[in-house]
Amino acid sequence: MIAVVGAGAMGAALAMVHDRAGVATALLGTRFDDAAIEACRDGRPHPALGVSLPSAIDCRPHDSWAAVLRNAERIVIAVSSDGLADVVAEVAPQASRQAAWVVATKGWDSATLRTPSEIVSEVTKRVAVLAGPALAPELVAGAPTAMVCASRDADLARDVAMTLVRAGIDAEITDDVVGAEIASAYKNVTAIAVGMCEGLSERLAENVFVHRYANARAAVFAQGLKDMSALAGKQGGRAETIFGLAGAGDLFVTSLGGRNGTFGRLLGAGQTPGQAKETIGSTVEGVANTFAALALGERLHVELKAARAVAAVLAEEAKPDEAITAMIRSAGEETI
């Protein structure tokens, strides 16, 4: 039995992935997921995905986790980074001590700057991390996808990867948990900045010379990877992870179609941060990740230019075009 905790878009998608792999699967909703769980139990489409879950998936509300968790061989956590610590504290007393934990959460805990695996490692040493480019709707549709499974437990990494493979997903394994988690978190920040460039291109479409803002997008993308690599390197992460699926790959897909990229596009198109959040209507992890990254960067003495640019816009201290221009100029001045 696999228990997926968190019935948002990614949690529901991962439940469907495990069901596709032929594994008995339960989807456990948090106290924030009542509407999604009710819809799924009634056979109606999941509110965030627009499709109904297979009837074989056991969908359970927050008050009926215990029986599933006692028998779950693997627990997959798919909740927001700031809600992770509370969810882990709830799950742990109900779970089997032999259960392996897989974390699909991406980002830092804002209060402590801990990564998801660091939080989960306080209750178990059998921890794996899912990373890489995987938008929930495409997982549901069975579109070609490649992901990364990171764990210091090689057997666990292989087991999780094999489940993905049985569901038709290509899977890489690595022991670079630090690199995978830094990449997973910081790509959200960079995707907002890349998205701002796209929004600016829409606003400046009448100027044929900047109608795509493509040069700026490329510079921001590259700067995000530099930031990511510097931050990971300070903590023992490897460059190959940053420039692979977990970093460059995930950043690319998030910039193209994820909530963070969309949020950035709305900012670039002229919405305020508050308006953009309201338009998105769900958690934009990159917002909290931006300020957590800056705090971590200060602790480790790493300058994070993409995060600095995004923070200036979020704090309404600079307009998107000003923040992007300042970031690119700052990066160029360092090389002269």
Structural contact between residues 63 and 41, judged by C-beta atoms closer than 8 angstroms: no
CATH code, domain with 65: 3.40.50.720
End-of-domain residue from the set 175, 206, 239:
175
Strands 127-131 and 146-150: antiparallel
End-of-domain residue from the set 124, 143, 175:
175
- 168 shares a domain with 25: yes
CA nearest neighbour of 229 among 183, 282, 193 = 183
- 186 shares a domain with 165: no
Q: What is the pLDDT of residues 242-290, one digit of tens each?
A: 999 999 999 999 998 789 999 999 999 999 999 999 999 888 999 999 9
Token pair 């790509």: residue: 187
Residue numbers of the domain that contains 269: 178-333
End-of-domain residue from the set 120, 147, 175:
175
- 166 shares a domain with 47: yes
pLDDT given at position 43: 94
* pTM (2 d.p.): 0.93
pLDDT given at position 296: 97
Neighbours of 42 (CB within 10 A): 9
Token pair 């992770």: residue: 84
Residue-wise over 228-261: b if at least 16 C-beta within 10 A, else e?
Answer: bbbbbbbeebbeebbbbbbbbbbbbbbbeebbbb
- 163 shares a domain with 251: no
Residues noted as catalytic: 187
Q: Report mean pLDDT in 10-residue bins for the chain, 336 residues.
A: 96 98 97 95 95 97 94 97 95 95 96 96 96 96 97 98 98 98 97 96 65 87 97 96 97 91 95 96 92 97 97 97 94 63
Domains: count for the chain: 2
- 237 shares a domain with 217: yes
Pull the structure tokens for residue 134: 């995987």
Q: Could you write out the DSSP letters of every residue in 120-181?
A: HTTT-S-EEEEESS--HHHHHHT---EEEEE-S-HHHHHHHHHHHHHTT-EEEEES-HHHHH
- 149 shares a domain with 47: yes
